[in-house]
Amino acid sequence: MTAGRDLLAEVLRAAGARAVPDRDDHDVVFQAAKTAWQRSLRAQRRRRWTLALAAAAAAMAIGVTSLVHRITARAPVVATAVVMHGSVVTRAPKGDTWRPLRLGEPIAAGSRVRTGSVAGLALEMAGGLSARLDEKSELEMDSDRSLRLTSGALYVDTGPVPAAVALRVETAHGTVSDVGTVFQVEVRPTAVRVRVREGLVQLDAAGRAGRLRSGAGEEMELDDRGNLRRGIVPPTHSAWAWAEALAPPPDVEGRPLLQFLDWVAHETGRRVRFEAPDVEAQAREVVLHGKTHDLTPLQALDVMLSTTDLEYVLSADQVILIRKRSG
């Protein structure tokens, strides 16, 4: 105070009252937030329950192991379920009943997997590539390099180095094979659509269309009359969103931020750019801790950067710009 005046009070009075949100807005947001919170609590409990089950299984070394052994005894393992959303079922080779697939469960050659509505599945194939199945899809796995998509959509990331044996995805309308790439095959009743995010894909059409190729950022749709339609599908197009949501989380513990950024860029079809050299240097030095389970790549980036003084901006030219947080 000076000369008997309470200046602090005067400042506050001059500034006036802060804006207050409407009661309706409060109630709407409260309900949504509570639902999200309760959902996260349920997911947390499910994870604990899964861990408890895993511990019990390891301690007893019977039960689940013997069941899995029975399933896989006759055929080699071709894939492992690494991310699952919603209802996902599997059918053993030569089996005739469907049962729920478990997270982490090995899948034998000849098995089928099927996803329900609002569901998805990410598989780590025995050869190391990543395959993701959209909702309402069915896939038969002859081997880790030969898949048959009977309905729905399949996303495949074969990694940067082409394998000695190309991955083949058979559909009723033709066989799609990769040439070191990231692509998506969608089966429709009378057509097959192939979208390519990276690299090159070849479609050997079942009918008269013959051999067709599609490059990064392109899509082609071939119907059962042999009509071909080509189009553009940018790597950041919403058509890739379902596969991003199924991206298996990377192991970030003790890894540099730069490595994590590479993963986010790969999974979102974007490139990372740094605002300045010192920002890039910082990204090399920052070491990450924690987990990014159940997050999309951009949500995971949100969380990881929130503990640093860096932030990101998505630009229209498919760039993730990393910069110092403003202010």
Partner 1 sequence: MTPLHTDWALSRRIRAGDERAFGELFERFFPRLFRFALARLDGNRTEARDVVQLTFCRAFEHLGAYRGECSLYGWFCQICRNAIADRGRALRYELECLSAMEEDATLESILEALQAPASDEPENLLWRTELARLIQAALDCLPGHYGDVLEWKYVEGLSVKEIGERLAIGTKAAESCLTRARGAFRVALAEIGGSVDVLAHATEDAR
Q: Which residues sit at the interface with partner 1, rule CB under 8 A?
A: 2, 5, 7-22, 25-26, 28-30, 32-37, 39-41, 44, 289-292, 294-295, 298-299, 302-303, 305-307, 311-314, 325-327
Residue 205 · residue 213 · CB < 8 Å: no
Q: How far apart are CB 306 and partner 1 at their closest, in Å?
A: 4
Q: How far apart are CB 36 and partner 1 at their closest, in Å?
A: 4
Residue 105 · residue 82 · CB < 8 Å: no
Residue 264 · residue 247 · CB < 8 Å: no
Q: How far apart are CB 87 and partner 1 at their closest, in Å?
A: 21
Q: How far apart are CB 235 and partner 1 at their closest, in Å?
A: 18
Q: How far apart are CB 6 and partner 1 at their closest, in Å?
A: 8
Q: Which of residues 99 and 293 has its CB atom nearest to partner 1 in the complex?
A: 293
Q: Give the integer Cα–Cα distance in Å for 127 and 321.
A: 33
Measured in whole angstroms, the distance separating CA 157 from the mean position of its chain's CA atoms is 11
Query: At a CB cut-off of 8 Å and minimum separation 6, what does 130 contact?
Result: 122, 123, 124, 156, 157, 159, 248
Q: Give the integer Cα–Cα distance in Å for 211 and 203.
A: 6
Residue 133 · residue 120 · CB < 8 Å: yes
Buried b (16+ CB within 10 A) or exposed e, 224-258: beeeeeeeebebbeebbebbbbbbebbebeeeebb
Q: How far apart are CB 91 and partner 1 at their closest, in Å?
A: 33
Q: Which of residues 38 and 66 has its CB atom nearest to partner 1 in the complex?
A: 38
Buried b (16+ CB within 10 A) or exposed e, 305-325: beeeebbbeeeeeebbbbeee
Q: Which of residues 212 and 295 has its CB atom nearest to partner 1 in the complex?
A: 295
Q: Which of residues 168 and 323 has its CB atom nearest to partner 1 in the complex?
A: 323
